[in-house]
Structure 1
């Protein structure tokens, strides 16, 4: 699973940190801007089974820049604005509530067992 925000400094690294120890999940994070800590790439998207974007604009960037690297139904959007610090308690609560719920929406399509590790 690849968590995506703009700078890869606050939101997506927080998600990566809180979900990295979930059994059966491999997680990474990346950013869409020009100077993120870890830039999103075609390789990362092809590695991931799912990309979880913080905002619609991140999803749109992935679809535009990396067309075909990950099917559209595997790019999820959480709607979490850039209003939080790294590991903010409210941000963590939102991730724990939203991520499982959004993944459940695609679970029937994921049941076939993909080749990706993320």
Structure 2
């Protein structure tokens, strides 16, 4: 079983889309969270420790994650997907991009 955590700033569009897209894959558990103070679901040390792979949407998210949770990033691999905040929730182009970029890691 692989635990996948998807992170972005406010956890409203990209990371919740990714969580849903991969939620029903066999052998995968998913979660999403945000790193901004106004995030829908906040990232926590427990989530970071739970994850096998953490997918961040932008380089700035990786930097923020490393600053805030460095002590908890001992085992998770952090992958930057380089997906800009240009998409709506479950937008077909975003879903296709996520499948293309995340798929090779599953």
TM-score between the two structures when normalised by the length of structure 2: 0.92
**Structure 2 unaligned blocks of 5 or more:** none
Check conservation: 1:63, 1:72, Cα contact below 8 A: no
1:71, CA displacement in angstroms?
3.8
Larger % of strand: which?
A: 2
**Contact preservation (8 Å) 1:3, 1:51:** yes
2:52–2:76: 8 Å Cα contact kept in structure 1?
no
Give the Å deviation of 1:29: 0.1
Measure, in 2, the Cα distance between the counterparts of 1:11 and 1:23.
21
Q: Which of 4, 7, 10 lines up with 1:4 in the alignment?
A: 7
Residue segments in structure 1 that go unaligned for 5+ positions in a row? 105-118
* TM-superposition CA deviations, 1:63-101 (whole Å, max 9, x none): 011013124870110000000000001000000000023
Aligned residues: 103
Q: CA RMSD in A?
A: 1.4
C-alpha separation between the residues in 1 aligned to 2:54 and 2:38?
19
Look up the SS of the partner of 2:46 in the other structure.
Answer: helix
Distance 1:73 1:49 in 2: 5
Runs (4+) of structure 1 moved beyond 6 Å?
none
- Partner of 2:19 in structure 1? 16
Worse-superposed segment, 68-77 or 36-45: 68-77
Distance of 1:60 and 1:11 partners within structure 2: 18
